[in-house]
Amino acid sequence: MGLPVMPIFPVLKSIFSEKGIEVTSGLNPWQYANLSEVSFTWFFKDGRSLTPHLGISLQEVYFLECLFSEFQPRNILIIGNSMGWSTFAIALCNPNARVIAVDAALDPETMKGIKFTNSIARERDLNLKAVKGLSPQDIPKILAEEFDGPVGFAFVDGYHTNEQIFLDFEAVNEGAADDCVWLFHDVGLFSLQDGLERIKDVTGLPYLIMDSTTSGMAIMFDRSLRLGISKTAESFSASDAAREFFSDQAYKETYRSRYKFKRSLAKRINRLRGILGNAN
């Protein structure tokens, strides 16, 4: 049994609020015209969004808390840093780990994010560092310079294509432990299953897409070496029966909405015809 992980969300918010940055996370899409993006984490200052890059959702922060209550890796690599939200979350869950976040920083916002992450790490005495680098080409150098052992946990949240997540995996896997746990963000949202299947074909490692995470995170690891994590991951994944049920409900709702629209349109057309007929 791992060490308990205290709720970190209030600490995460305070990191930003103390710098005058408002954090909003976990809003319900139905309150905002079903805009799915409101579920993720947004950063505001003076009423304006600071960056187009959104952070992992409140629900996904909770998943990290559950995950790291089961195991504490020594070395952690994160691909994709942006404002540092997920980097801070992972570091707070793993106070004894070395955490390195890599970001291409191709725009001013993410370059500022690297500087912001490192300044907070110094202020709060967190054992983490954000570095500018491209994956896969810069990963071997970063692994050699920043870690004194293999990577035990990797969070892949960079460029969201099937080809890129395979390249990210290949690069990090050269310096990863046999029992490394891999977490991929936005798999469901960006349909990255083909990339995971390609990794599975090469390594034989199974993966699980966790429906109860906002972006459809996927986790991959050797289940014979990480039995405890299996239970955590499965608790965030729906059964086949549940998926079938909700898919059926979604189909019915879509069909019902279309039927109502067609019926309403027909009424309006008939009413217009009646008005035009009376006019003649």
Q: What is the pLDDT of residues 91-102, one digit of tens each?
A: 999 999 999 999
Domain check: are 154 and 266 in the same one?
A: no
Find, among 173, 12, 178, 176, the residue nearest to 87 by Cα.
Answer: 12
pLDDT tens readout for residues 101-157: 999 999 999 999 999 999 999 999 999 999 999 999 999 999 999 999 999 999 999
CB atoms within 10 A of CB 107: 12
We report the CATH number of the domain holding residue 164 as 3.40.50.150
Domain check: are 92 and 139 in the same one?
A: yes
Domain check: are 231 and 247 in the same one?
A: no
Domain check: are 151 and 183 in the same one?
A: yes
* pLDDT attached to residue 249: 79
For residue 28, is it within any domain? Answer: no
For residue 38, is it within any domain? Answer: no
For residue 245, is it within any domain? Answer: yes
Domain check: are 244 and 210 in the same one?
A: no
pLDDT tens readout for residues 146-193: 999 999 999 999 999 999 999 999 999 999 999 999 999 999 999 999
Backbone angles phi, psi at 55, to 5 degrees: -90, 165
Domain check: are 144 and 171 in the same one?
A: yes
For residue 182, is it within any domain? Answer: yes
Domain check: are 90 and 211 in the same one?
A: yes
pLDDT tens readout for residues 20-53: 999 999 999 999 998 999 999 999 999 899 888 9
For residue 244, is it within any domain? Answer: yes
Q: How many domains does the chain have?
A: 2
**Residue 1 scores a pLDDT above 50:** no
Percent helix, strand, coil in the chain, to 5, is 50, 15, 35
* pLDDT attached to residue 240: 81
Domain check: are 132 and 66 in the same one?
A: yes
DSSP assignment, residue 209? E
Predicted TM-score (pTM) of this structure: 0.88
The range of the structural domain enclosing residue 153 comes to 56-235
Distance CA 30, CA 126 (A): 37
Domain check: are 96 and 205 in the same one?
A: yes
Domain check: are 222 and 117 in the same one?
A: yes
For residue 157, is it within any domain? Answer: yes
Distance CA 178, CA 90 (A): 21
CB atoms within 10 A of CB 66: 16
For residue 39, is it within any domain? Answer: no
Domain check: are 169 and 67 in the same one?
A: yes
Q: Which amino acid is at 177?
A: A
Contact 48, 41 (CB under 8 A): no
Domain check: are 127 and 247 in the same one?
A: no
Q: Which amino acid is at 6?
A: M
For residue 26, is it within any domain? Answer: no
